[in-house]
Structure 1
Amino acid sequence: MASIKLGNRPKNFKRIVKFGLIEGGEGSIECTFKYRTRSEFGRLIDGMAHDARQNGAAGADLSVAQIMDATKDKNAAYLLDVLDGWNLDEVLTRDTAAQLCDELPGAATEIMEAYRLAIVEGRLGN
């Protein structure tokens, strides 16, 4: 059993995140997540919520395509906030994170949920 020492926080941690593929089957990405305490995670989410409220009225007249683009971009920004890296051939950048969110939205959703579960509940997740 591992010895517990408070205050000895890791820089990051890894999880293999699994997700369904649109053509059937299952894909997986090994994600290296940035470590945050629950309090730090709360501040991250609060900041995102504040930004969403500030920009809320601007989205009232958007087309569906514009909403999808905005969602993809926000999700990509979130992935960059929580990931230190991944095991894809493509380097983790804003563009590749946005591409993942656009092409494999289920993967992006599972990555976000795996991070939330790990930080908030201390669980491995899927």
Structure 2
Amino acid sequence: MPKIKLGQRPQSFKRVVKFKMLDGAEASIEVSYKYRTRTEFGAFIDEIAAAAKAERPEGDDFSVAAIWEKIGSGNADYIMQAVDGWNLDEEFTRENVQQLADELPAAVIAIIDSYRDAITQGRLGN
């Protein structure tokens, strides 16, 4: 068992994130997350919330497609700030994260949830 030594924080940590595919099969992606302390994570979430609030559309125009586009874009922004790589054949780019959010939303939610759980609770798994 490793000895705990405070103040020696890692740059990143890896997790295998599991999620359900559209057909119900289980899939996984190994993700390398950027390390943050709980306090730093709180500031990160504050920044994400402030950015989302600032980007709220004004007016009465309602479009479900625009809402889903905005959610996918917001998820991609979050992941680009929380993750520094993955084990997919596709390169880890914002465009590919956006495509993942559009094609497999369960994967993106699992990546976001896994990061939150790891930082705030130190839990393994989903």
TM-score, normalized by the shorter chain, greater than 0.5: yes
Residues 53 and 60 from structure 1, CA distance in 2 versus in 1: closer, same or farther, beyond 3 angstroms? Answer: farther
For 1:26, the equivalent position in structure 2 comes to: 26
Matching of residue 42 in structure 1 with residue 47 in structure 2:
no
Structure 1 segments unaligned to the other structure (5+ residues)? none
Q: Is the 8 A contact 2:19 2:26 kept in 1?
A: yes
TM-score, length of structure 2 as denominator length: 0.95
Residues 1:59 and 1:66: Cα distance change in structure 2 (over 3 Å): farther
Aligned length: 126
Distance across 2 between alignment mates of 1:71 and 1:59: 18
Residue number in structure 1 paired with 2:54:
54
Runs of 4+ in structure 1 over 3 Å off: none
Deviations 1:76-103 (A, max 9, x none): 1111011010000001101000000000
Asked if 1:114 corresponds to 2:114, the answer is yes
Deviation (angstroms), 1:40: 0.6
For residues 115 and 59 of structure 2, the distance between their equivalents in structure 1, rounded to whole angstroms, comes to 27
- Provide the C-alpha distance between the structure 1 equivalents of 2:52 and 2:92, rounded to a whole number of angstroms: 24
Could you say what secondary structure the match of 1:58 adopts? Answer: coil
Identity %: 52
1:61-100 equivalences under 5 Å are 61-100=61-100
Deviation by residue 1:38-77 (Cα, 9 ceiling, x = unmatched): 0110001001111222223537523000011111111011
For the residue of structure 2 that corresponds to 1:56, the secondary structure is coil
The one-letter code matched in structure 2 to 1:94 is R
Separation in 2, partners of 1:120, 1:58: 34
The equivalent residue for 2:13 is 13
Shift of the 120–85 alpha-carbon distance from structure 1 to 2, 3 Å rule, reads same
Q: In 2, distance between residues paired with 1:46 and 1:110?
A: 20
Query: Aligned in 2, Cα 1:85/1:59: closer, same or farther, shift over 3 Å?
Result: farther
Give 3-state SS (helix, strand or coil) of 2:9's partner: coil
